[in-house]
Amino acid sequence: MNIIEALHDPALFGASPAFADLDTWKPWLTFLSAVYGLPLDAEGRSLFCECTGRSTYDPPPGGWPEIICIVGRQAGKTRVCSLIVS
């Protein structure tokens, strides 16, 4: 099971009211997929390239060992970080 599957699973993170409507979390789902080197759909690849300045989505096996994010206030950083460290 990967992080995205865990977010959709009602027995795991999907039970959290914070993640009840994952449609509003698309940018974060793309971010998490990229961090862990998971496949992205066309929309996710486009968003990844737009946000990173890269021309393609070509993650290393298993994802990136280190990430840096510049994120504004009230963007869900704490909730997403809690997923990563859980």
Model's pTM, two decimal places? 0.86
- What per-residue confidence (pLDDT) applies to 21? 85
Give CA–CA dist 60/69, Å, rounded: 18
What is the pLDDT averaged over residues 75-81?
87
Residue 76 included in any domain: yes
Q: Number of structural domains, the chain?
A: 1
Say if 54 falls within a structural domain: yes
Tens digits of per-residue pLDDT, 8-18? 999 998 888 88
Nearest to 49 by CA among 36, 30, 67: 30
Inside any domain, residue 50:
yes
Domain that holds residue 43: 3-13+24-85
Q: What is the mean pLDDT of residues 55-69?
A: 92
36 falls within a domain: yes
Percent of the chain with pLDDT strictly greater than 70: 99
* pLDDT band at residue 86 using 50, 70 and 90 as cut-offs: low
pLDDT of res. 54: 95
